[in-house]
Structure 1
Amino acid sequence: MNPVRRQVLKGLGAGALLAPMSGLQAKAVPHKPLFIDGLSFLPTEMADVKASGLDAFLCDISAIESIEQPDGTVNYKRTYKACIQSITEARAKVLAEPSLIQGLSGSDIDKVRGSGKTAVFFQIQGADCVEDSLTQVDEFHALGLRVLQLTHHYGNSFAGGALDSDTKGSLNLPLTPKGYALVDRLNDKNILLDVSHSSEQTALDAVKASRQSVVQSHGAVRAIVPHARCSPDSVIRAIADSGGVFGVFMMSFWLTNDPVPTTDHYLAQLKHVAKVGGLDAVAIANDYPLRGQENLLKLNNDNAEGVKEYLDWWYSLRAKKVLGFDHEPVHVVIPELNHIERMARIYDALKGAGFKTAEADKIVGGNWQRVLKTVLI
């Protein structure tokens, strides 16, 4: 998408948020921002959805198989068989729950606004589920898939992964010919293209190839934490120029290398995305369950203890000399945000940091709403 189109989208987004009331002066009511989370999961306890205060969220419904890599590290492959079953089961759960609606178009967000319901947009973290033919994309779409990630950590037949490494230590593998065909099919089906976990070159290639806005549903900023899983400014800028959004997630070891993670570190990530891509590119993501990282909650957010579950995986990537794994992680979550009410807490933090109401509204939901309405039609 060219910069001119992006400016048009930005104008439309701002107009929707800032349009004045007409006619008689309405009685003042408490302001309720729109809360949209860029990635979480269907909870076991559906009451968690209401407790989160979310109007909508992108919901990873995929199922995985553990696959040992040739070098001994482990990847998690989302196979066609596993994901067809998981999306069928997720659809049944959502349709059976009165407090939820399955999000099929961006306009579904308008339907839940003020209703007490939440729109759930199905996402799969990795295109490995498209195994035999692009017609499988159509099958997933018919069951409600509305967001597809090209890959997860490591590359596949479609895309290069953020954690890929060859003998030269390359972390920049491109979109493949099959990947270009997949991008075209996703555009045709109005499925939102997600470049989370992609290599820099794959992300740039995908944005250039796409006829629609592209997102990174969940990630962090490499200029703050120099790590392969964090995105360079080139990717943030390209996503913004496509009219998409960049969702900053809750995994604190990719938000700051400081020993004690705080909400200020999270705000610094949001501010950097705004500086590079503009305010319309900034969004919120989770990448943990709605309640938060469950093991850390059980440990009363004791990061020193909780980080231990990540260390074997971390050391395996350090041995491959992948960017950033030489730094020892000492935390997993920002304690005050590892909470089911994180969206309200982030919103309050934005206002406390000097963001205007209209700006904070965009960040916590308005920007996601714009993209979903643009692509999911």
Structure 2
Amino acid sequence: MAVQSQRRHLLKALAAGGLLTQLAPLTSWAQLSSQPLYIDGLSFLPDDLADLSGSKLDAYLCDISAIEAIKQPDGTTNYKRTYNACVQSISEALTRVNANPDKLLLGKSGQDIQRAQDSQRTAVFFQIQGADCVEQSINSGLAQVDEFYDRGLRVLQLTHHYGNKFSGGALDNDGTQGLNLPLTPAGQQLIEKLNQKKMLIDVSHSSPQSALETARASKMPIVQSHGAVRAIVNHARCSPDEVIKAIGDTGGLFGVFMMTFWLTNDKIPTTEHYIAHLKHVANIGGIDAVAIANDYPLRGHENLLKLENNNAEGVKQYIEWWHSLRARGVLGFDSEPQHVIIPELNNIDRMERIDSALSAAGFSSGDRSKIMGGNWQRVLTEVLG
């Protein structure tokens, strides 16, 4: 990894001196650098844009949505991405991207990944975590999808934690009652619309049944941009093997995220726990279905960084929410969370550290290339064009 970092710094110096531009007709940036392609399944626009180059990401799915906290009848809180909130947030995100063309590139097609790598920028593919932003009735032709597309949206998650008019939610999956809500008729129509618009469908936070039905309904690959494996941690927010396989069978992928209370029940989370989820996804969905996700800011979980990655202190912010789901009997919330992050991966260098860990775990260079970014590039190119 040190050699790769030195190569990056050398190429930046060449670019600053104009030499890279002179060489451009002969070779691409990617060919000259031989740098790995790094793509992340979910993060956010950073406050400090220096984090873009620091992360070494060529592209990532960028959640630009804004939320409204809505109290549920059972006392829990759902965070809905409403139309008004998301129209404002996507406009603000687009303004920021356009104001920094030397650092950011709005991802609209798969080709933008190579464009970003060649120009030493980061491509951001706008994503909204929940289709609650599509508030109009089906009779409108789902025109709000067209509006968000025109504003730059390319990835839409069907729901977030709890069900909506389109999809059942992961946390509707009550371990006591066996509740597992399906995709709704409105959800079927939304999938048709997203396929027609060439937008990527994300089943993160969907119930298993909704995810399976989405895989059957979609004519294009679907993804779970960020999640974990239920065979390792038996929790409603983790996906059973049949969902992982169904996603892989569409030609899509499954991104494993950094939230450690869904990665291991052991007291101390390690990189090996993270690699175990990647291995499991590869075994069930195939190597072409494995990807990396974050679900925290590029730099890492901000509160844990302030606490110097002290998990015992950091997990306290989740306890009240966790206990509210326990009271409902939702699968997996009976165990007490003990941590939030893997300390060595709660770092802006996580991609290189994961790449090194995959190598140490015996993954070939070809498989590592797929996991670290190649699978995302393939899916985004196939779906978005």
What is the TM-score when the length of structure 2 is the normalising length?
0.89
Correspondent of 2:77 among 71, 74, 78: 74
Correspondent of 2:47 among 39, 44, 49: 44
1:170 aligns with 2:174: no
1:34 aligns with 2:37: yes
Residue matched to 2:115: 111
CA contact (8 A) 2:58 2:113 kept: yes
Structure 2 counterpart SS, 1:231: coil
1:149 aligns with 2:151: no
CA contact (8 A) 2:110 2:382 kept: yes
Equivalent-residue separation in structure 1 for 2:318 and 2:275 (angstroms): 24
Structure 2 counterpart SS, 1:374: helix
Fraction of identical pairs, as percent:
67
Equivalent-residue separation in structure 2 for 1:229 and 1:305 (angstroms): 23
Structure 2 counterpart SS, 1:113: helix
Structure 1 counterpart SS, 2:154: strand
The structure in which a higher percent of residues are helix is 2
Structure 1 counterpart SS, 2:224: strand
Residue matched to 1:60: 63
Structure 2 counterpart SS, 1:236: helix
Stretches of structure 1 that go unaligned for 5 or more consecutive residues are 1-27
Residue matched to 2:17: none
1:347/1:202 Cα in 2 relative to 1: closer, same or farther (>3 Å)?
A: same
* Larger displacement relative to structure 2 (270-279 or 347-356): 347-356
Stretches of structure 2 that go unaligned for 5 or more consecutive residues are 1-30
Amino acid at match of 2:351: M
1:121 aligns with 2:125: yes
Deviation at 1:114, TM superposition (A): 3.3
Once the two structures are superposed, residues 313-367 of structure 1 have per-residue CA deviations (whole angstroms, 9 ceiling, x without a partner) of 0000000000000011100000000001100110011111111111101000000
Residue matched to 1:297: 305
Equivalent-residue separation in structure 2 for 1:223 and 1:309 (angstroms): 26
Residue matched to 1:351: 359
Deviation at 1:29, TM superposition (A): 6.7
CA contact (8 A) 1:165 1:320 kept: no
Correspondent of 1:253 among 261, 268, 273: 261
Deviation at 1:32, TM superposition (A): 1.4
1:188 aligns with 2:192: no
1:233 aligns with 2:237: no
Deviation at 1:167, TM superposition (A): 10
Equivalent-residue separation in structure 2 for 1:171 and 1:225 (angstroms): 19
Equivalent-residue separation in structure 1 for 2:49 and 2:151 (angstroms): 21
Correspondent of 1:319 among 309, 321, 327: 327
Residue matched to 1:99: 103
Residue matched to 1:339: 347
Structure 2 counterpart SS, 1:45: coil
Deviation at 1:60, TM superposition (A): 0.3
Output the aligned Cα RMSD.
1.2
Deviation at 1:30, TM superposition (A): 6.3
CA contact (8 A) 1:169 1:322 kept: no
Residue matched to 2:229: 221
Deviation at 1:171, TM superposition (A): 3.6
Deviation at 1:170, TM superposition (A): 3.2
Residue matched to 2:27: none
Residue matched to 2:20: none
Structure 1 counterpart SS, 2:172: coil
Equivalent-residue separation in structure 1 for 2:174 and 2:371 (angstroms): 37
Structure 2 counterpart SS, 1:163: helix
CA contact (8 A) 2:86 2:133 kept: yes
1:86 aligns with 2:97: no
Once the two structures are superposed, residues 127-160 of structure 1 have per-residue CA deviations (whole angstroms, 9 ceiling, x without a partner) of 0000014100000000010000000000000000
Once the two structures are superposed, residues 185-208 of structure 1 have per-residue CA deviations (whole angstroms, 9 ceiling, x without a partner) of 000000100000000000000010
Deviation at 1:267, TM superposition (A): 0.4
CA contact (8 A) 1:164 1:170 kept: no
Equivalent-residue separation in structure 1 for 2:324 and 2:49 (angstroms): 36
Aligned residue runs from structure 1 range 241-280, under 5 A: 241-280=249-288
Equivalent-residue separation in structure 1 for 2:55 and 2:233 (angstroms): 28
Amino acid at match of 1:139: E
Equivalent-residue separation in structure 2 for 1:137 and 1:238 (angstroms): 25
CA contact (8 A) 2:208 2:239 kept: yes
Amino acid at match of 1:130: V
Structure 2 counterpart SS, 1:215: strand
Equivalent-residue separation in structure 2 for 1:165 and 1:123 (angstroms): 24
CA contact (8 A) 1:171 1:199 kept: no
Amino acid at match of 1:160: G
What is the TM-score when the length of structure 1 is the normalising length?
0.91
1:166/1:237 Cα in 2 relative to 1: closer, same or farther (>3 Å)?
A: closer
Aligned residues between the structures: 350
